[in-house]
Amino acid sequence: MSIQKDPRKPPTTKAGVGQHVTNLQDTDSVNSSLSTGLPGSETVLILELKCIADVSFVGMPNAGKSTLLGAISRAKPAVGHYAFTTLRPNLGNLNYDDMSIIVADIPGLIKGAHQNRGLGHAFLRHIERTKVLAYVVDVTAALPGRKGISPWEQLKDLVLELEYHLEGLSNRPSLIVANKIDEEGAEEVYEELKRRVQGVPIFAVSAVLEEGIPELKAGLKMLVNGETSCPLCLDQISLD
């Protein structure tokens, strides 16, 4: 089949909806015409991922979160003996026989994070994108010769920063990881922590030695599956 144009019909080009312009393409034809298009538009979209992981490790700098992530998964986050080793979340895949869980190592929060101290706003927004909170505390921070604060004070400050940032953010299924339990004097602090904090599971762990990891993995699975739900509130923490 062949198609031939009628030589008597002038060429016409349609460029869109808008002002009608004549005699731009074929000056020999009175009927030639083009239609100019309307001005286009552009926009800048900022997209924010609403869920990055099932579980977030929430704690202060040097609580051992990155080491813990490496102990429960195959992730290899950078580890250092200084604050803010982690500047963006590290993700690890925690595998079970019947499921897998994504865990995020959130950069350390400091007091005043809700006022954006220590890049706090960015770090707190990462926590918004997780379902379960695992508070990681250093049980040795306030031992003689150390300059840190007790694990129950760490928990109080962490919960306050979450609530100052977004009311209700701490009302998510939670557990507590009492890290560095292998160090001298840590066991007594752990026992005191259990006395001072009620209603939330507490797991004694040595991330370096990978002690207590199977029990912690079981606890995380229960929270993610919804088998238990234990938010940590300020009134559950005794400072006296």
Query: Does a structural domain hold residue 18?
Result: yes
3-state DSSP percent of the chain in helix, strand and coil, to 5: 25, 20, 50
The pLDDT of residue 153 is above 90: yes
Are 105 and 36 in a shared domain? no
Q: Which residues have CB under 8 Å from 91's CB, separation 6+?
A: 52, 53, 75, 102, 103, 104, 105
Query: Does a structural domain hold residue 48?
Result: no
pLDDT value of position 77: 75
Give the tens place of pLDDT for each residue, 79-134.
655 455 556 789 999 999 999 999 999 988 999 889 988 777 888 999 999 999 99
Query: Does a structural domain hold residue 47?
Result: no
Alpha-carbon span 221 to 205, nearest angstrom = 16
pLDDT averaged over every residue in the chain: 85
In the chain, the number of structural domains is 2
Query: Does a structural domain hold residue 76?
Result: yes
Q: pTM for the full model?
A: 0.78
Are 31 and 82 in a shared domain? no
CATH code, domain with 108: 3.40.50.300
Are 101 and 167 in a shared domain? yes
pLDDT value of position 84: 53
Are 87 and 169 in a shared domain? yes
Are 13 and 86 in a shared domain? no
Are 61 and 173 in a shared domain? yes
Report percent pLDDT > 70 for the chain: 80
Give the tens place of pLDDT for each residue, 41-70.
889 987 766 678 999 999 999 999 999 999
pLDDT value of position 87: 62
